[in-house]
Amino acid sequence: MAEASKVIHVRNVGHEISENDLLQLFQPFGVITKLVMLRAKNQALLQMQDIPSAINAMQFYTNVQPTIRGRNVYVQFSSHQELTTMDQNAQGRGDEPNRILLVTIHHMLYPITVEVLHQVFSPHGFVEKIVTFQKSAGFQALIQYQGRQNAISARTSLQGRNIYDGCCQLDIQFSNLDELQVHYNNERSRDFTNPNLPTEQKGRSSQHPGYGDAGVGFPQVGIAQFMMANAAAIAAAFGGGLPPGISGTNDRCTVLVSNLNPDRIDEDKLFNLFSLYGNIVRIKLLRNKPDHALVQMGDGFQAELAVHFLKGAMLFGKRLEVNFSKHPNITQGTDTHEYMNSNLNRFNRHAAKNYRYCCSPTKMVHLSTLPQDVTEEEIVNHLAEHGTIVNTKLFEMNGKKQALVMFENEEQATEALVSKHATSLGGSIIRISFSQLQTIRENSQ
């Protein structure tokens, strides 16, 4: 394999493949700072924010063939360590600093309104005007600051960043306009220096040809709905669309789990299992029904994933029944266990990547945060009480020891995960997840 680089070279990029398609493929692994399409060669160069993000992407696509629109694409590290600014801005408006920014939003899974843009850009200075519009390049906005230095600061801080975790990536250039003309204050344009403008719009919100058609909008969605960053991260992780059977519209956060084995289950074991699908707020075992428990997830999307992937799973000799609860949340009390501030919640960081690994229980588990000097024998000894271990592989990624352990069946692997996730092995608190790999390849990393 070529020397690691934060620039990834993608081949077999057909004309039907868009920049957006490529962004969706690599977005779950980190921020993409630059993307250059080499149309004449059916190739593309894509720069991640750092080398570990690029390595994670390459590692994943070693085991999974990346496909876009039915076409296999092939990825490798580029011989370039960095893409030049000149390449990136070849089709841009130039880099002459100006107080007006031209913002293009890539991988836009949810509509972006003036309010959202104002929230993102106002920390860098007083935003005077915002105009949004739809053009062939995608959804764009012009943002006018009071001073040029504010615009420079915003571009430096926000270029390549995501508005939400896993999507809505900002591509920011300086505009060549001197002043924005705003005729209406509505969800598509706003003059913050003149609150008395009408909201009614007849035709276009601006007659300036350079702005595009602001009348071409998106279905209007309540701001709270697309402020849920997790929704975007889930969609990003699953290639821009939710997995079959997931609606993405559930707003019930609490899950009722029944047919548990009351002699062997406790709150921490339930936490270890349900935290694979989202952050856990609190868990309550029902004393009057010892085989029932309530689990409150971070939001409705995470609860839906848990119900979808865990319904019918086997654990401690019982087939779990997992459904949405009629209770919107679990009331705090002496019989509830609180997890909201637990640093063991898996979705506090890298949410999009964690969603990508969501699946029903498998017979293969993946161990990470292992001690550097750990041996396969120590790993087997740590997990062997939970079932028959068929195969193991210890490997190193990004300089850190990780392992794959295959059990005879899914129930044994699930028991090992709920019992041994977040336990200590050789002085390290280990992390266990299900792996979607079917077999352990001897030459795989």
Query: Which of residues 443 and 251 earns the better pLDDT score?
Result: 251
100-191, CATH topology level: Alpha-Beta Plaits (3.30.70)
pLDDT of residue 208: 35
Contact 142/105 with Cβ under 8 angstroms? no
Q: Is the predicted pLDDT of residue 227 greater than 50, yes or no? A: no
Q: In the β-sheet with 321-324, what is the strand arrangement from edge to edge?
A: 321-324, 254-258, 293-297, 280-285, 336-338
> Whole-angstrom Cα distance, residue 433 to residue 275?
10
pLDDT of residue 235: 59
Q: Is the predicted pLDDT of residue 203 greater than 50, yes or no? A: no
Query: Which of residues 133 and 424 earns the better pLDDT score?
Result: 424
Averaged pLDDT for residues 393-411: 91
364-434 carries CATH number 1.10.3720.10: no
Torsion region of 23: left, alpha or beta (phi above 0 gives left; psi -120 to 50 gives alpha)? alpha
The contacts of residue 9 (CB under 8 Å, 6+ apart) are 43, 44, 45, 75, 76, 77, 78, 79
Architecture of the domain whose range is 7-77: 2-Layer Sandwich (3.30)
> Whole-angstrom Cα distance, residue 21 to residue 437?
24
Query: Which of residues 236 and 40 earns the better pLDDT score?
Result: 40
> Whole-angstrom Cα distance, residue 137 to residue 34?
15
Half-sphere exposure of residue 313, counting CA atoms within 13 Å on the CB side? 29
Q: Is the predicted pLDDT of residue 362 greater than 90, yes or no? A: yes
> Picking from 17-26, 248-257, 337-346, which range would have the lowest pLDDT averaged per residue?
17-26
Pick the CATH number of 254-356 from 3.40.50.720, 1.10.15.40, 3.40.50.300, 3.30.70.330: 3.30.70.330
| Highest-pLDDT range among 9-23, 131-145, 425-439 | 425-439
The contacts of residue 48 (CB under 8 Å, 6+ apart) are 6, 7, 8, 26, 29, 30, 31, 32, 33, 54, 57
List, for residues 318-337, the tens digit of each pLDDT value: 999 999 998 888 888 888 99
Averaged pLDDT for residues 59-84: 84
pLDDT band, very low/low/confident/very high, at 87 (cuts 50, 70, 90): very low
> Picking from 233-242, 351-360, 433-442, which range would have the lowest pLDDT averaged per residue?
233-242
Q: What is the DSSP string of 241-305?
A: SPPTT--S-----EEEEES--TTT--HHHHHHHHTTSS-EEEEEE-TTSTT-EEEEESSHHHHHH
CA 437 to chain centre: 21
Q: Is the predicted pLDDT of residue 224 greater than 70, yes or no? A: no
**Where in the chain is CATH 3.30.70.330?**
7-77, 100-191, 254-356, 364-434
Query: Mutual orientation of helices 300-310 and 229-237 as an angle, nearest 10°?
Result: 40
| Highest-pLDDT range among 30-34, 125-129, 164-168, 217-221 | 125-129
Helix (H) or strand (E) holding 26: helix 19-26
The contacts of residue 237 (CB under 8 Å, 6+ apart) are 28, 166, 352, 353, 354, 355, 356, 358
The tokens for 393 are 């592989």
Q: Is the predicted pLDDT of residue 207 greater than 50, yes or no? A: no
Query: What predicted TM-score, i.e. pTM, was given to this entire model?
Result: 0.51
Amino acid sitting at position 229? A
3-state SS, residue 417: helix
Which of 100, 99, 130 is closest to 116 using CA atoms? 130
Q: Indicate if the alpha-carbon torsion angle 93, 95, 96, 102 is positive or negative.
A: positive
Half-sphere exposure of residue 333, counting CA atoms within 13 Å on the CB side? 9
Query: Which of residues 357 and 151 earns the better pLDDT score?
Result: 151
pLDDT of residue 407: 96
pLDDT band, very low/low/confident/very high, at 391 (cuts 50, 70, 90): very high
E strands in 320-423? 321-324, 336-338, 364-368, 389-397, 400-407
Beta pairing partners, 333: none
